[in-house]
Amino acid sequence: MPNDQREPHRWGFTDSGFVLNEDNSVTLTGNRYSICGYPMPYFIPFVESMLNVSLSTMQPRAERQPGRLPEPNRNEAFCAALAQKFPVEQVSFDDADRLRHSHGQTTVDEVYQVLYGELPKLADAVFYCGGTEQAQALVQLAAEHDVCLLPYGGGTSVSNALRIPADERRMVLAVDTGRMNRIIRLERDNMRVTVQSGISGADLERQLRAQGFTLGHEPDSSEFSTVGGWIATNASGMKKNRYGNIEDLVESMTVVSPLGTLQESVGAPRVSSGSRLHHLLFGSEGNFGLITEAVLKLRPAPEVTRYQSLLFRDFATGIAFLQELSKGSVWPASIRLVDNPQFRFAQSLKPAQKGWTACKHSLQKWLLTMLKGFDPEKLAAATIVLEGSAHEVTVQHRALDRLIRRYGAIYGGAENGRRGYQLTYAIAYIRDFLMRYDLIGETYETSAPWDCIRTICDEVKRAAELEHARYGFPGKPYISARITQIYPTGACIYFTHGASIHGVDNADQKFHAVEQAMRAVILANGGSISHHHGIGKLRAAFIPQLYSDATRKVLLAMKRELDPGNVFGAGNNLFDRGQ
Ligand SMILES: Cc1cc2nc3c(=O)[nH]c(=O)nc-3n(C[C@H](O)[C@H](O)[C@H](O)COP(=O)(O)OP(=O)(O)OC[C@H]3O[C@@H](n4cnc5c(N)ncnc54)[C@H](O)[C@@H]3O)c2cc1C
């Protein structure tokens, strides 16, 4: 992905972004997504009514223009050794490069700081790594010269994992893997592919599809996020029901650590050769080494991809439907259930309805409310992707059909399903647009057993209201939930939380405190700290609740053995200051 097509700090592509029109509608610019290019008149009124604030009277906040950055902390002996070993264009001390590689996409601690505040610490330089051999040479030099290395994939982290530890005194080199973007070997008969770790999801999938294959791993960030980043964060894609999570898709990997290169000669779909270090490298969050290559398991490109949507009387009925579906063995590739606020949010991004469209919508609404008795303020919706051979898709459809009558659900049509999936790509653009109006948003994702899900949803909503009042934020909070992934034992709940911070002193710190309180509520009610975003630094305060003393000791011992000098000093998870 050429960097000139990407926003350096905000989310996404430079040609895509929400703009406010004179008539108070908004438009998503560009033509990358199906919701681009038309005015959305219902969005601002929706935001104003959900948050009980008025945007129309506000001036958008001006972004801080980045001035000259503080001089980099140069370890001259290391810089000289680097210059001897690598072409000069592989190392950058450029301010813009340094700033871009000093943060991820966490809202308050990263994007908000870059655009409207200041990051407390910056990378001193960026190294554009070309492959495993270069990584080996780099890591050796860094260890010899006591330099800190921070792996950087697509920069889409939402856990502060890419934030530079504020108390790091050594020279910090961000290691960008963007040039490690090749498919090394495609084994058609064995259905696997060896790739360099910096390849983005979108590039990999495009190349695989051209050869008749798919990996099927599609996190919402897949336009930018990379194979290395997925492994390092334990990522999960929207079609995990069919293809699995990242740990199900990786057969083996190569990781360059200060101790040496970690590789297991596997070469087979599954091995029983004792404990595998492999498993401990998922979720390593840049703490142990640089992932340079991975062998991934493929599936044939699907013959058929079909979208569908469902409407439920309310969110609780939708959850019960998913729980029942999860007991069977045939699941759609993806099924995502959104609650009523999120359903209405999706409606607010529709174009103005005129003529026959308006008439059709009134009729549909009438049918829903009068005939089916659905309350528009309560109903919930699911977007669905059915994928596989034509036969498999028919079977997936039948599994849905069987449950629909029992739960009183109705089909909402393929177009609404397809649109629902496209919307997920627009959400981060909306976050950045609203930030200009002092509206801050964050997401919390968790996984929980089925019997905790409804309680967690209720308690999170209650906590958002309590915390909002405690810190004196204006208006009311927006909190919505969607169930994004299902398992036989439970599901992943993904909350979106928004609030106005207009006129609030130290608003970023206060919102951060609210976020932590919400995470505590999730944990207290049986949820996990994260289903797929990882710990990074954002959730590190909860570590004592996650690991037993013995577990913690083993992990720390592993870090000491692999990286005694704390070269990989990102300080993520429990490896704060590389203890
Ligand atoms: C809009 C949006 C949508 C998202 N949707 C999803 C989703 O659906 N599912 C999901 O799982 N996540 C999602 N995320 C979170 C994020 O995309 C994932 O955590 C992703 O796996 C990060 O990959 P990356 O390549 O961008 O890594 P980065 O953000 O660059 O890095 C993340 C961490 O991995 C480490 N790392 C990166 N590359 C390597 C490497 N080669 N070797 C060692 N360590 C490395 C970094 O040091 C850092 O600790 C989303 C984020 C955003 C902003």
Task: Say which DSSP state 488 is in.
Answer: S
Least confident piece of the model among 215-219, 261-265, 389-393: 261-265
- What whole-number distance in Å separates Cα of residue 572 and Cα of residue 163? 9
Of all protein residues, whose CA lies closest to atom 50 belonging to ligand 1? 221
Alpha helices in 198-281 (DSSP H): 201-210, 227-233, 240-243, 246-249, 277-281
Tell me: pLDDT of 531 over 80. Answer: yes
Asked whether 123 lines ligand 1 (CB < 6 A), one says no
Active site residue 478: no
Nearest ligand 1 atom to alpha carbon 226: 25
Residue pair 126/88 in contact by the 8 Å Cβ criterion: no
Supply the pLDDT for residue 578. Answer: 46
107 lines ligand 1 (CB under 6 A): no
- Residue 181 predicted with pLDDT over 80: yes
CA distances from 406 to 180, 317, 324, 334, 551 (A): 51, 10, 10, 21, 45
Where do runs of H (alpha helix) occur along 146-179?
A: none
Per residue in 337-395, pLDDT (tens digit) is 999 999 999 999 999 987 656 656 665 666 666 667 889 999 999 999 999 999 999 99
156 CB within 6 A, ligand 1:
yes
Residue at 494: amino acid letter: Y
- Which pLDDT value is given to residue 467? 96
Q: pTM to 2 decimals?
A: 0.96
What proportion of the chain, given as a percentage, has pLDDT over 90?
Answer: 85
Residues in Cβ contact with 84 at an 8 Å cutoff, skipping those fewer than 6 apart: none
- Residue-level length of the chain: 579
424 ligand 1 Cβ < 6 A:
no
Distance between CA atoms of residues 274 and 272, nearest Å: 6
CB of 217 sitting under 6 A from ligand 1: no
pLDDT for position 390: 95
Distance 573 CA to ligand 1 centre (A): 14
Q: How far does the centroid of ligand 1 lie from the alpha carbon of residue 159, in Å?
A: 9
Question: Of 36-40, 60-64, 97-101, 310-314, where does mean pLDDT reach its minimum?
Answer: 60-64
Averaged confidence pLDDT in the chain = 94
The most distant pair of C-alpha atoms in the chain lies apart, rounded to whole Å, by: 77
Residue 579 has a pLDDT of 46
Residue type, 45: P
Distance, CA 235 to ligand 1 centroid (Å)? Answer: 7
Residue 473 has pLDDT above 90, yes or no: yes
User: For a pocket test of ligand 1, which of 102, 225, 442, 496 has the largest count of ligand atoms closer than 8 A to its C-beta?
Assistant: 225
Q: Residue 431: what pLDDT?
A: 93
Q: Which atom of ligand 1 lies closest to the CA of 427?
A: 1
Which of the residue ranges 60-64, 274-278, 357-361, 419-423 would you say has the lowest mean pLDDT?
Answer: 357-361
Q: Which atom of ligand 1 is nearest to the CA of 159?
A: 19
pLDDT at 1 over 60: no
Q: Whose CA is nearest to atom 9 of ligand 1?
A: 219
pLDDT greater than 80 at residue 162: yes
Distance CA 395, CA 399 (A): 6
Quote the ligand 1 centre to 70 CA distance (angstroms): 27
DSSP per residue, 261-312: EE-----SS---SS--HHHHHTT-TTSS-EEEEEEEE-EEPPSEEEEEEEEE
Whether 447 shows a pLDDT value over 90: the answer reads: yes
Q: 11 Cβ partners below 8 Å, 6+ apart? A: 105, 111, 428, 429, 431, 432
Ligand 1 within 6 A of CB of 235: yes
> For residues 7 and 14, is the Cβ–Cβ distance under 8 A?
yes
Model pLDDT, residue 371: 62
Q: What is the mean pLDDT of residues 84-100?
A: 97
Q: Name 150's bridge partners.
A: 174
Report residue 223's pLDDT band, with 50, 70 and 90 as the boundaries.
very high
- DSSP state for residue 226 in the 8-state scheme: B
Choice among 318-322, 349-353, 442-446 with the minimum mean pLDDT: 349-353
- Residue 255 CA: nearest ligand 1 atom is 42
* Residue 228 alpha carbon, nearest atom of ligand 1: 41
Structure tokens at 539: 């959730």
Q: Is 286 in the pocket of ligand 1 (CB under 6 A)?
A: yes
